């Protein structure tokens, strides 16, 4: 048994149901009791076209009443009468005049008939032919020939009540069955003639905005559910009906589910066309077009009006759902094809309810738009037989929206899981390059405080208690040995050496360098060496004085005021050293005290840096040491360049030591301790710091080892976990 599947909830409903028993929604979008026909004033163009503009009273025929009475015997209300367009009422009145009305049907009031219908002389020929009886029997008469199934289906018992479905006759589709509840649209049938197939019925189907929205919002799974339904039984093949008059299909389709038989008409001459069809042209232009060259400007204008917003039905077209438009277009295309092949007796296929319910599935296929043959021959109507006519109905009615593709990716759950996993991997990989920012500085602060306090605590303990656990270095670097040997050789000479001391360290590292250099300066002082200090940084002169004061305090016999001169600050870095190397007397003419240095007893007779017996550089940075080696060393020739460097600069200075450009070097506390070990100093400055230094260095190494192992293992576990 045929069933109707609700497009909203998917529930199965009886074939005669109009509203879904489950969701209570209308099963058919085009069943809209509240739908009202287009305003009358918007239909004025039709009246003008037909020349009935002044005859407003002629169209008030109770067609609804007549049609309803033909099926159910019930009368309709006055409101429903007013919904019938007057042009349809006039045609129906004409038809009823020509056909015997059934007994129960109310007679049509004569004054409601159009004027031209009453005057037979004014009737067109084709209407006269109709009146002459070469038309099939009226529907009521043919009703006895109806098949039994059709009678059963069309019986009043199975039809819904009149109050359930407002039988707006203008909405009933001619090819639809009564059981489907499909109503014909409000069609201006007089435009293309009496050929129903030339009219797109869908465009006149009034739909409210609500129904449009509901049609659009049909869920996708509903289509799948419908598609998965077993194919319903085919309806019994309808018996071909008797040939009917061209106007009979109106009543037939309204009242019967039987498909109408379309009569193929021979191409007619223009003289066969009803004259009223050309009346607008005569009215407007006062010229009658030649039969052979019909003026279609009026028709085109009408089509333009249809296409435009003057056509009320065109406005309702915009509210139509796509699937309905496409479906109607397809039906129309089938009919056109059928007619062009010249098979006049074939019946239009009946669309059963179940098929109607499957329309959303068809709407999903955008290819349903009907192809139009531009060279087709107009099959029916006043322009029948003409080729290449503008398919006005196609322009107006066949609307095919561009296909809409869903932007949603249809993936299975498995694919979604894989995609999620892949995304997780990608996100983790991208985080490798940019480490996540610290959520809080608290852990870092705690770590710094802990490390700092432990380190300071260990150093303080070592300094205070000075346990002497750290053994003095016995392995002395060779450059320290060279340094020591050079110094000893120079100070052991008969003439006290004159040494140029370059003090080139910042106050920040004075703790390290002044401690190391103190032992060296003491040894120079012990040899009564003359020391000329020069500095490349601003704090140098003061640091030099401080160093001399500290060292001189440990060598009381040394006359620092006579043997030491502070040449002060040399601005310009490497440029100043170049000047010093070129001519020291002009590069550093005076001491910090303002004394002409090169006239002093210490430096008297010296004109070049090579006159110094040695150059001692106290440095903490590589760049300035490189400048000394590049600018001064070439100028001094074989004069030894001895370097006391900070531990931070030592690795970068090792190549100069290896190449021999630096004669000897002491670097860091380790080098200082080794030098003190060489000199056998009993109260060396470094010796007092040695325990703390070694403990601190080993503690830092332990911290680093533990941290590296801890975080390294954590990284390995993290990567393993990710993998």
Residues 559-618 that bind another protein (CB under 8 A): 566, 568-576, 578-579, 582-583, 586-587, 589-590, 592-594
Rounded to whole angstroms, the Cα distance separating 112 from 716 reads: 98
**Site string (204-233) toward another protein, x via CB under 8 A:** ------------------------------
Closest CB 512 distance from another protein, rounded Å: 4
Cβ closer to another protein: 64 or 535? 535
Three-state DSSP state, 619: strand
Restricting to residues 624-643, which ones interact with another protein according to CB under 8 A? 626-627, 629-631, 633-634
689's CB contacts (< 8 A; 6+ apart) are 463, 515, 669
Rounded to whole angstroms, the Cα distance separating 130 from 124 reads: 10
Q: Which stretch binds another protein (CB under 8 A): 188-196, 317-325, 358-366, 474-482?
A: 474-482
Closest CB 511 distance from another protein, rounded Å: 3
Contact 273/291 with Cβ under 8 angstroms? no
Contact 162/76 with Cβ under 8 angstroms? yes
Rounded to whole angstroms, the Cα distance separating 647 from 627 reads: 19
Q: Which stretch binds another protein (CB under 8 A): 29-37, 380-388, 484-492, 651-659?
A: 651-659
H helices within 159-296, ranges in order? 209-216, 220-227, 248-255, 279-285
Q: Is 484 in the site for another protein (CB under 8 A)?
A: no
Q: Which tokens belong to 569?
A: 């600050």
Cβ closer to another protein: 117 or 627? 627
Cβ closer to another protein: 46 or 588? 588
Restricting to residues 673-702, which ones interact with another protein according to CB under 8 A? 673-674, 688-690, 692-694, 696-698, 700-701
Q: Which stretch binds another protein (CB under 8 A): 49-57, 215-223, 293-301, 621-629?
A: 621-629
Binder among 12, 307, 546, 611 for another protein (CB under 8 A): 546
Rounded to whole angstroms, the Cα distance separating 496 from 527 reads: 7
Annotate 537-572 with DSSP letters as a single string.
STTHHHHHHHHHHHHHHH-TT--HHHHEEEEEE-TT
Binder among 227, 715, 717, 722 for another protein (CB under 8 A): 715
Q: Which stretch binds another protein (CB under 8 A): 226-234, 521-529, 537-545, 551-559?
A: 537-545
Rounded to whole angstroms, the Cα distance separating 581 from 297 reads: 108
Cβ closer to another protein: 530 or 541? 541
Q: Is 84 in the site for another protein (CB under 8 A)?
A: no
Cβ closer to another protein: 297 or 575? 575
Q: Token match 């004033």: residue?
A: 41
Q: Is 670 in the site for another protein (CB under 8 A)?
A: yes
* Cα–Cα nearest to 622, from 591, 648, 660, 640: 648
Cβ closer to another protein: 129 or 611? 611
Closest CB 394 distance from another protein, rounded Å: 57
* Cα–Cα nearest to 160, from 53, 293, 26, 45: 26
Restricting to residues 406-465, which ones interact with another protein according to CB under 8 A? 435, 444-445, 447-449, 451-453, 455-456, 459-460, 463-464
Angle at 555 between CA 553 and CA 560, to 5 degrees: 75
Cβ closer to another protein: 322 or 620? 620
Binder among 236, 706, 717, 722 for another protein (CB under 8 A): 706
Contact 484/675 with Cβ under 8 angstroms? yes
Closest CB 491 distance from another protein, rounded Å: 26
Sign of the C-alpha dihedral computed for residues 349, 355, 357 and 363 taken in this order: negative
Annotate 231-268 with DSSP letters as a single string.
PPPPPPPPPPPPP--TTHHHHHHHH--SPPBPPPPPPP
Closest CB 7 distance from another protein, rounded Å: 60
Binder among 177, 185, 312, 473 for another protein (CB under 8 A): 473
Count of residues of this chain found to bind another protein when the rule CB under 8 A is applied: 108
């Amino acid at each position: 048994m045929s069933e109707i599947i609700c497009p909203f909830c998917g529930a199965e409903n009886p074939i005669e149901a109009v509203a879904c028993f489950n969701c209570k929604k209308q099963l058919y979008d085009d069943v809209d009791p509240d739908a009202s026909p287009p305003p009358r004033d918007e239909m004025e163009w039709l009246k003008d076209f037909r020349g009935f503009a002044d005859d407003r009273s002629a169209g008030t025929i109770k067609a609804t009443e007549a049609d309803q009475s033909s099926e159910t015997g019930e009368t309709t209300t006055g409101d429903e009468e007013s919904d019938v367009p007057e042009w349809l009422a006039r045609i129906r009145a004409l038809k009823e005049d020509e056909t015997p009305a059934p007994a129960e049907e109310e007679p049509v009031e004569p004054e409601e008939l159009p004027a031209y219908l009453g005057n037979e002389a004014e009737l067109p020929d084709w209407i006269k032919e109709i009146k002459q009886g070469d038309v099939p029997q009226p529907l009521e008469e043919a009703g006895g020939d109806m098949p039994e199934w059709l009678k059963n289906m069309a019986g009043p018992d199975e039809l819904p009540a009149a109050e359930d479905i407002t039988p707006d006759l203008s909405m009933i589709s001619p090819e639809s069955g009564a059981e489907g509840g499909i109503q014909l649209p409000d069609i201006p049938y007089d435009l293309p003639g009496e050929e129903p197939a030339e009219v797109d019925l869908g465009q006149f189907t009034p739909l409210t905005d609500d129904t449009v929205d509901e049609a659009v919002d049909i869920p996708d799974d509903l289509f799948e559910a419908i598609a998965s339904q077993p194919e319903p039984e085919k309806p019994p093949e309808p018996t071909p009906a008797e040939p009917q008059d061209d106007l009979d299909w109106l009543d037939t389709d309204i009242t019967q589910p039987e498909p109408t038989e379309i009569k193929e008409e021979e191409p007619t001459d223009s003289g066969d066309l009803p004259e009223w069809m050309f009346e607008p042209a005569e009215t407007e232009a006062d010229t009658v077009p030649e039969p052979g060259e019909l003026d279609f400007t009026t028709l085109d204008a009408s089509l333009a009006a249809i296409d435009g917003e003057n056509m009320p039905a065109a406005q309702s077209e915009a509210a139509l759902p796509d699937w309905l438009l496409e479906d109607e277009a397809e039906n129309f295309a089938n009919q056109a094809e059928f007619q062009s092949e010249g098979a006049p007796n074939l019946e239009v296929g009946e669309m059963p309810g179940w098929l109607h319910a499957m329309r959303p599935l068809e709407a999903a296929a955008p290819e349903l738009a009907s192809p139009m043959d531009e060279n087709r021959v107009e099959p029916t109507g006043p322009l029948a037989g003409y080729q290449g006519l503008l398919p006005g109905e196609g322009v107006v009615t066949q609307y095919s929206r561009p296909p809409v593709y869903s932007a949603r990716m249809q993936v299975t759950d498995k694919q979604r899981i894989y995609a999620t996993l892949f995304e997780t991997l990608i996100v983790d990989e991208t985080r490798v390059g940019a480490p996540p920012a610290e959520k809080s500085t608290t852990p870092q602060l705690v770590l710094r405080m802990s490390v700092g306090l432990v380190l300071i605590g260990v150093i303080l303990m070592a300094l205070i208690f000075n346990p002497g656990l750290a053994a003095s270095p016995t392995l002395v670097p060779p450059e320290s040995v060279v340094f020591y040997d050079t110094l000893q050789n120079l100070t052991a000479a008969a003439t006290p050496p004159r040494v140029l001391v370059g003090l080139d360290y910042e106050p920040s590292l004075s703790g390290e360098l002044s401690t190391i250099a103190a032992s060296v300066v003491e040894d120079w002082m012990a040899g009564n060496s003359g020391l000329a200090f020069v500095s490349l940084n601003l704090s140098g002169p003061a640091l030099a004085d401080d160093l001399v004061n500290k060292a001189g305090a440990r060598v009381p016999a040394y006359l620092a005021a006579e043997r030491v001169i502070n040449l002060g600050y040399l601005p310009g870095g490497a440029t100043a050293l170049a000047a010093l190397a070129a001519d020291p007397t002009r590069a550093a003419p005076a001491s910090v005290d303002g004394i002409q240095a090169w006239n002093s007893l210490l430096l008297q007779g010296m004109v070049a840096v090579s006159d110094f017996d040695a150059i001692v550089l106290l440095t903490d940075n590589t760049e300035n040491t490189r400048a000394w080696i590049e600018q001064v060393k070439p100028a001094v020739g074989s004069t030894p360049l001895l370097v006391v460097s900070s531990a931070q600069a030592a690795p970068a200075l090792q190549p100069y030591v290896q190449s021999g450009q630096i004669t000897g070097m002491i670097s860091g506390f380790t080098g200082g301790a080794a030098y003190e070990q060489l000199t056998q100093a009993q109260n060396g400055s470094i010796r007092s710091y040695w325990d703390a230094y070694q403990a601190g260095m080993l503690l830092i190494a332990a911290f680093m080892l533990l941290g590296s192992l801890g975080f390294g293992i954590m990284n390995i576990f993290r990567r393993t976990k990710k993998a």
